[in-house]
Amino acid sequence: MNETPRIAIVGGGPGGLLAAHVLHGHGIAATVYDADTAVDSRDPGGTLDLHADSGQIALEDAGLLPAFRALARAEGQAMTRRDHHGTLLKEFIPADDDTAAPEIDRGQLRTMLYERLAPSTVHWGHKLTGLTTENGVHRLHFANGSTVDADLVLGADGAWSKVRRRLTDAMPEYLGVSFLDVRFDDVETRHPEIAALTGNGQLFTTDGAGRAVIVQRNSNGVIRGYVAFRAEEDWAARESVDLTDRASVREFLLREFRGWGEAVRPLLTDNDGDYVARAFTALPAPLTWKRVPGITVLGDAAHAMAPFGGHGANLALLDGAELAHALHEEPSVEAALTRYETAMFARTGHLAADANAALRGFFADQPDGTPQDVPDREEELRAYEAQAAEYRAARTPAAR
């Protein structure tokens, strides 16, 4: 790039932080602004698997793959499939040296990315409230009253991105399925039955009638996940459920999941801490927009999708790396953004559409009452490895 633009990255999640890493590796300055007051100021959520063909490629580009592998859990790739009575239907146990998609806690990943940036890179406590443009200069307005001028704004600010509003009117849509975050602590001692049901990785269980429990091992003896069900978006009000009262929520769940067996009932009722109500939402897919000078988005801000396939964080990381490479390799900012968006649209559009369709299919009523199956885990992992080799081979040869 023949220019030296002032680059503002809005959002200090995995995608934004990874973009900063790769930009800095190319000698390009960039500053990250995030609404959180600190890297660990809020619950970051559960665990995620980083795929060999996306997230791990991005970490390798940033020089962070060894740091990731020091924290990652290969055993977390395991998958257990049970019916709603607890009967084992399918099980996959990975080899000890399988690195196709190891698990890492979201908080661990974010902290790892943040702590390896220069101390002045991330400005916490900067919640974006507006973005204006005058004479080609973008002014970021923050809730703390400060403003920052930038020549290039990279929006890594999530599904409800304010930066994206400068590119498209598209907004996330409710997919018809709501869920409750659940957490189980010190599981081997306090919840041995849940530990046994889950195994070392992820547990999928569904009744084939729009209800499911999907939980995953995290580090430090924790299992997290969600109890999910088809519902109107305002289901709690319709059902007179007080979300701040665990007893009220548990009464609803026992009623909603009344056909579920005794073996799996602790997944519904024995969580530690409050239930946290959320909804599955996604942007229209595939989503594109016309090029807007000096502004683009990445990760969920560009292609928020259902979690089926585990693509969200992986694509955010790869978006950040590919955007940074384009800015380094192309002669101008606009050439770089055109290259990035063209490739990103092609890379993510079909994955987002497939993930959204998979979620709807998983929670649809099955005609014969047989629970909806999930992808074969072994096949998924081997596909990540094959696609990683193809992706590397297809990359534009350039000094990186």
Q: Which residues pair with 123 in a beta bridge?
A: 33
Nearest Cα residue to 352 out of 378, 319, 377: 319
What count of other Cβ atoms lies within 10 Å of the Cβ of residue 290? 7
**Which stretch of DSSP H or E encloses residue 131?**
strand 128-134
Nearest Cα residue to 11 out of 271, 232, 313: 313
Please tell me whether 265 is known to bind a ligand.
no
Determine contact, residues 83/259, Cβ cutoff 8 Å: no
Determine contact, residues 77/49, Cβ cutoff 8 Å: yes
Extended strands (E) in 161-317: 173-184, 202-206, 211-217, 223-230, 276-282, 295-297
Q: Helices 312-329 and 14-25, interaxial angle, to 10°?
A: 30
What is the residue-wise DSSP string for 60-84?
A: HHTT-HHHHHHH-BGGGG-EEEEET
Please tell me whether 42 is known to bind a ligand.
yes
Look up residue 68 and give its amino acid: F
Q: Is 188 helix (H, G, I), strand (E, B) or coil?
A: helix
Nearest Cα residue to 306 out of 275, 342, 352, 260: 352
What span, in angstroms and rounded, lies between the C-alpha atoms of 4 and 15?
22
Residue 292 is given by DSSP the state: B
Q: Which residues pair with 88 in a beta bridge?
A: 82
Residue 131 corresponds to which tokens in the numbers above? Answer: 């973005």
Determine contact, residues 363/210, Cβ cutoff 8 Å: yes
Residues 6+ apart with CB under 8 A from 181: 224, 225, 226, 275, 276, 277, 278
As annotated, the binding site for FAD includes 49, 106, 300
As annotated, the binding site includes 42, 49, 106, 300
As annotated, the binding site for NADPH includes 42
